[in-house]
Amino acid sequence: KRLIAPSKATERLAEIAYQVDLRHKQPGKSTKSAERKRDKYSQIPAFLVTTVSEDSLDTDLESVSDEYDLLPYTPPSEEALDDYAKTCAAVQNVLLSLRSENINAKWTNGPLLRTPAFRKLIRAESNDRVVGLILVGDASKKS
């Protein structure tokens, strides 16, 4: 069982994580947290992104001035919420499957996923709601 080495996409993900963390740090705090996040993300052998299409969602990447700023949150419709829940259940099954193969994985979400930079990286459509980012790694390595 081998995982691929970090790729150009992983490098870009690490840079996005760094830039977003810098913008959301507490005033007066150092940049060490953002640097640690960039270093950690740059070592990820692989990542998966889960999305769900939502007819009523129309993400406008031009609604923010900087590609690392957060896009406005749009609450899901009741029907979309059901699809979102089903996708979450599928993600949990993926995590369990990876673990059964002795592959560590972490499901994460947060500000990073709500930026134009991330949406461009994953080539999300305007009606795609990002459910989560699954960071995949080797279970034999300590993080």
Residue 4's pLDDT is: 54
Q: C-alpha angle with apex 120: 6 to 8, nearest 5 degrees?
A: 20
As a whole number of angstroms, the distance between CA 80 and CA 129 comes to: 9
Residue 11's pLDDT is: 93
List of the chain residues with pLDDT < 70? 1-6, 138-143
pLDDT tens-digit readout, 69-79? 999 988 888 88
Kindly tell me the sign of the dihedral angle through the C-alpha atoms of 56, 62, 63, 69.
positive
Residue 2's pLDDT is: 46
131 SS3 class? strand
> Which pTM value belongs to this model?
0.86
Residue 142's pLDDT is: 52
Residue 143's pLDDT is: 46
The token duo for 34 is 């953002």
